[in-house]
Amino acid sequence: MLVALKKFGFSSVALLAALTFLAPVAFAQDVATTAAPVAAPAEFEGTAEVSSLITNGNTKNQTTGLAFDVTYRPSPWLVNLKSKYLTTVSQEILTQEQFEVAGRGGRSLSEQLDIFAEHTYLKNGFAGVDNRLITSGGLGYVWVRSDLQTFRTEAALGYTHEDRTDQTELAFMSGLVGVIYKIKIGATSDISHETKYQPNFKNGEDWRLVTETALSAAISSMLSSKIAWKYEHVNLPPAGKIRGDTTTTVSLLAKF
């Protein structure tokens, strides 16, 4: 048992155990709110996001990000498409370029339970990834859904194919354990958090973790400001690369 824990990383197991106990806590905090009727989500909604950071003078840096997220809910089905592009130019030299896109289709089985299938693509040459494709399918469960907060967990099985800049190629059965939480902290602001743990069933040491926390505040009925912090961990990174990358962005969102 200790050997298995060591393979997947004690820190990752501890994180997953902690997240497991969050559900009852969130549920207890939400009892008073769930008594009131919850507004049904819109059939169609989306966001477009632009982020930029520019410095001039002794140092010239420019970071630009573009993202969109579109969801269509023809009950009981759900279709979601999202994409993100981020680039940084420092002293007129490209130092970061990342592109990712994900498509998901799902169907509700009950008010809390649903099934889904998802395909994601990532390209991040500066992190050593030429192409990463993940196809997966699984179950999602909503523990808490109210006008104040939502708490959802996901579990899935899939297949990962990865081409790396060090000329290596990976192909393996993979998994997914996800936690998504969102809470309103005011009439026009909210905090969201998402953590996804991805084990490699072929090599237990090669697990991955992506976690992102964001604070959003409405400027108008259509526009919001957003600050987000994201951490991406690959426990066995490509040659010459480190295990963890962090990204902080300040963005302007348009909702439609």
Mode of pairing for the β-strands spanning 77-90 and 61-72: antiparallel
Q: Is residue 209 part of a domain?
A: no
Strand partners, 115: 107, 139
Determine the Cα–Cα distance for residues 23 and 69; give it in Å rounded to an integer.
Answer: 26
pTM: predicted TM-score of the whole model, two decimal places: 0.82
Cis before residue 237, ω within 30 degrees of 0? no
Determine the Cα angle at 207 with ends 202 and 210, to 5°.
145
pLDDT value of position 37: 56
Cis before residue 76, ω within 30 degrees of 0? yes
Domain that holds residue 72: 2-180
Residue 241 DSSP one-character state: -
Average model confidence (pLDDT) for the chain? 87
Of the pLDDT bands very low, low, confident and very high (cuts 50, 70, 90), residue 54 is confident
Q: Is residue 119 part of a domain?
A: yes
Determine the Cα–Cα distance for residues 76 and 110; give it in Å rounded to an integer.
Answer: 9
pLDDT value of position 6: 43
Determine the Cα–Cα distance for residues 152 and 145; give it in Å rounded to an integer.
Answer: 9
Residues 6+ apart with CB under 8 A from 160: 132, 133, 134, 170, 171, 172, 173, 174, 198, 200
pLDDT value of position 11: 45
Of the pLDDT bands very low, low, confident and very high (cuts 50, 70, 90), residue 38 is low
Residue 169 has pLDDT above 60, yes or no: yes
Alpha-carbon 131 to chain mean position: 18
Number of domains in the chain: 1
pLDDT value of position 112: 97
Q: Is residue 224 part of a domain?
A: no
Between these two residues, 24 and 135, which has the higher pLDDT value?
Answer: 135
Q: Is residue 247 part of a domain?
A: no
The string of pLDDT tens digits covering residues 56-97 is 888 888 999 999 999 999 999 999 999 999 999 998 899 989
Rg (CA), the chain: 19
